Amino acid sequence: MQRRWSKESIALEILSMYESGETLNYSSVASSNLALLRAATRYFGTWEAAVNFSGLNYDEIRRYKSWTRERIVERICELHKQGADLSWRNVCLNTDPQLAAAATKKSHFGSWREALEASGLDYDTIRRYQEWDDDRILDRVREYADAGKPLNAKNVEQDDITLITAARRRFDSWHLALTAAGLDYKEIVRRAPFKRGQGRTKNGKIRVNA
């Protein structure tokens, strides 16, 4: 029996394919789901318009036509640099469901742990990201301050990347996290030890990355 399509049912089918990690560029859908493609072009005029109606970015879908091990690692590293929560649940449900589905295929890595470790990341550390909340972050920041540890961003990145990544995610910046903990950000920057290679501003002051 021929399926009866509508704009809403087409969008739901596209999202279902996306969340399953299926490739959504035109040629792939023409091979895997021709009925959907025909319905989409009939209702929307173009496949691109149908994908965009579904709330997805067709430019990104077209750019990454298919997932490879190399592309998966590249995407994971890209998200890590952005400070994204790379715990399995968050990536699967929020950050990039297509990445999660592709990474765990047997033809790629078989599991999210293997994908993270292939990207040079510690799975156990990443898994703990999801346990951070505002209070825990602020308590840890205050512990650092009470222990006299340097709290400029460069030092914390080297000492506890999990803390600073979680802080940036929850407070938008390390600066705001320090302020929320009741600390003087400007004073922390002034106290940061000068290291060769930091350089100076035009007026002769030390430039510190915090």
pLDDT at 194 over 60: no
Rounded Cα gap, residues 166 and 189, in angstroms: 20
Q: What is the pLDDT of residues 109-134, one digit of tens each?
A: 989 999 999 999 988 877 765 567 78
Rounded Cα gap, residues 64 and 120, in angstroms: 22
- What pLDDT score does 199 carry? 42
Identify the three-state secondary structure at position 141.
helix
Single pTM value for the model: 0.41
Q: What is the pLDDT of residues 82-91, one digit of tens each?
A: 878 888 878 8
When pLDDT is cut at 50, 70 and 90, the band that residue 178 belongs to is very high
Rounded Cα gap, residues 119 and 189, in angstroms: 32
| Highest-pLDDT range among 22-26, 54-58, 189-193 | 54-58
Q: What is the arithmetic mean of pLDDT over 16-42? A: 85
Q: What is the arithmetic mean of pLDDT over 32-42? A: 92
pLDDT at 173 over 70: yes
- Give the closest residue to 36 by CA, choosing from 7, 67, 13: 13
Give the DSSP letter of residue 9.
Answer: H
- What pLDDT score does 65 carry? 55
- What pLDDT score does 192 carry? 58
When pLDDT is cut at 50, 70 and 90, the band that residue 204 belongs to is very low
**Token pair of 89 as six digits:** 């649940």
Cα distances (angstroms) measured from residue 65 to each of 17, 61, 182: 14, 6, 48
- What pLDDT score does 197 carry? 40
Q: What is the arithmetic mean of pLDDT over 163-172? A: 82
Mean confidence (pLDDT) of the chain: 81
Q: What is the arithmetic mean of pLDDT over 130-147? A: 84
